[in-house]
């Protein structure tokens, strides 16, 4: 293995997804000499196979729904169908523009970019393209891939992953979505808007099971109204081809048939065969284990993003990558409060939250110390105009700070920024109630909810 001993980078990063490129950009900004190694396209899952393309599909679906429902707003329009070639062109143009901009950023920050499949070869080096890239520190950021179940083969034909679903050239007539988490409900929502008959199969007792139970129930109610079917509380047993589709059998013997099966049970870490274990990096079920500063048990190696067992969100990857870069540059760093990370599921209606659930709050503080308030969007003027339904639920420690904000409704993802500040700054309901929220906006619902929780409701019943 060739080695240019004269070049030792301050930081060698294996993986150019959200966590990896964020560390590269911040590290270079702070004066570190950075090498970034990526086998595919910089931007990783989020830009090319995740956040960005799925949201483009969801927006196309929203336009389709608006065309169908235009008459209720007094607008005469007709819906003639989905042109998947044009939808994919729109989606790919969004990705292409962002990809071009990201490559420009990396070049402008003087990051040494290497395209190739790398492997950790020592605690301070990565081998790629027949070369050994040396660094004072190595950051592992190799991301994740769609998971499956034992005996369930994702063949890309009738049994597909989210990667396949993003490249489809047609709208399936019917689909079973295995998994009612973020990925599953987002595809279910988009495909339903496109005209697909959907059945979601979730083994746990609720859709989006990591969210507050009230949010899950509101989403289930909305999905029923939209005609999205779902089966909860029974786990998957097997899938088999039929003459013209797929049959899914559950553990209780119940069966469902459709044209396609989308396996959306989450994503697993990419760590096999990359030299991690050989170099003594502590791992668990394929994940690289880290401390609160993203350091592994090997002093010269850190890890971030979907590779570590934290929240699998692009913005978490950004934050973890920045934390590592700043720590290596000698800046004072603060561990990430993962409860304080905003979460958004971009289905219709959207589900957004920050902080802890009511159940978790009761577990931590005691049931008698927790106050919960629900503000119905029916009392919000802009939500009425948009014809969206839902709620903002606040969870408060009695006589103390708001520790959870849970929202369901169209565009609620756009309200999670203020919710994040409320949680992370440990705001009291009375403090938020003093702020003047613009009328008529959906953001006003956040203010109204806190007015109510502070004991002075305006457009809400006592």
Under a CB-based contact definition with an 8 Å cutoff, are residues 364 and 232 in contact? no
- Spell 258-289 as b/e; 16+ CB within 10 A means b: bbbbbbbbebbbbbeebbbeebebebeeebbe
**∠ CA 327-330-334, rounded to 5°:** 45
450 is catalytic: no
- Among 211, 152, 201, 170, which residue's Cα sits nearest to residue 81? 170
The kind and range of the H/E element at 294 are none
Q: For residue 116, count other CB atoms closer than 10 A to its CB.
A: 14
Active-site residue, from 437, 439, 450, 461: 439
Count of CB atoms situated within 10 Å of the CB of 207? 28
Here the tokens at position 104 are 């420009």
Phi/psi at 168 (5° precision): -70, 140
Number of H helices and E strands in the chain, helices first, is 13, 26
Contact 362, 332 (CB under 8 A): no
Phi then psi for 230, rounded to 5 degrees?
Answer: -155, 150
Token reading at 55: 């949201």
Classify burial at 170, counting beta carbons within 10 Å of its beta carbon; exposed 0-12, middle 13-18, buried 19 or more: exposed
State both tokens at 277: 């274990």
DSSP assignment string, 432-447: HHTSPPPTT-SHHHHH
What gap in Å lies between CA 308 and CA 288, rounded to an integer? 5
Element (H, E) at 199: strand 197-202
Q: Which residues are catalytic?
A: 439
């Amino acid at each position: 293995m060739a080695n240019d001993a004269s070049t030792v980078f301050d930081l060698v990063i294996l993986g150019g997804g959200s966590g990896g490129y964020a560390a590269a950009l911040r590290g270079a900004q702070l004066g570190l000499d950075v090498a970034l190694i990526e086998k595919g396209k910089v931007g990783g899952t989020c830009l090319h196979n995740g956040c960005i393309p799925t949201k483009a599909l969801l927006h196309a679906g929203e336009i389709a729904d608006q065309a169908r429902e235009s008459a209720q707003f007094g607008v005469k329009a007709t819906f003639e169908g989905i042109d998947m070639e044009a939808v994919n062109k729109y989606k790919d143009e969004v990705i292409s523009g962002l990809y071009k901009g990201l490559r420009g950023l990396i070049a402008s920050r003087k990051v040494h970019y290497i395209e190739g499949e790398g492997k950790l070869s020592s605690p301070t080096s990565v081998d790629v393209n027949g070369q050994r890239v040396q660094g004072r520190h190595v950051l592992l950021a190799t991301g994740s891939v769609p998971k499956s179940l034992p005996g369930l083969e994702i063949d890309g034909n009738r049994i597909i992953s989210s990667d396949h679903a993003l490249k489809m050239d047609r709208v399936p007539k019917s689909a079973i979505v295995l998994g009612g988490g973020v990925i599953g409900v987002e595809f279910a929502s988009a495909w339903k808007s496109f005209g697909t008959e959907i059945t979601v199969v979730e083994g746990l007792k609720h859709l989006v099971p990591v969210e507050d139970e009230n949010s899950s129930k509101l989403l289930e109610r909305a999905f029923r109204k939209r005609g999205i079917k779902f089966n909860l509380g029974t786990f998957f047993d097997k899938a088999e081809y039929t003459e013209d589709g797929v049959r899914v059998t559950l553990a209780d013997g119940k069966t469902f048939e459709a044209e396609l099966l989308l396996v959306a049970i989450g994503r697993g870490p990419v760590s096999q065969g990359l030299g991690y274990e050989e170099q003594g990096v502590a791992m668990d079920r394929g994940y690289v284990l880290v401390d609160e500063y993203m350091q592994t048990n090997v002093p010269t190696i850190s890890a971030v993003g979907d590779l570590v067992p934290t929240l699998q969100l692009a913005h978490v990857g950004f934050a973890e990558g920045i934390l590592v870069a700043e720590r290596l540059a000698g800046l004072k760093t603060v561990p990430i409060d993962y409860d304080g990370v905003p979460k958004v599921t971009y289905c219709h209606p959207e589900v957004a939250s920050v902080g802890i659930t009511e159940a978790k709050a009761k577990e931590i503080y005691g049931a008698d110390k927790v106050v919960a308030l629900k503000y119905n969007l029916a009392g919000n003027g802009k939500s009425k105009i948009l014809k969206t339904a839902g709620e903002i639920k606040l969870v408060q420690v009695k006589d103390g700070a708001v520790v959870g904000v849970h929202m369901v409704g169209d565009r609620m993802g756009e309200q999670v920024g203020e919710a994040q500040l409320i949680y992370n700054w440990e705001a009291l309901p009375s403090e938020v109630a003093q702020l003047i929220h613009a009328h008529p906006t959906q953001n006003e619902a956040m203010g109204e909810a806190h007015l109510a929780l502070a004991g002075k409701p305006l457009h809400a019943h006592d």
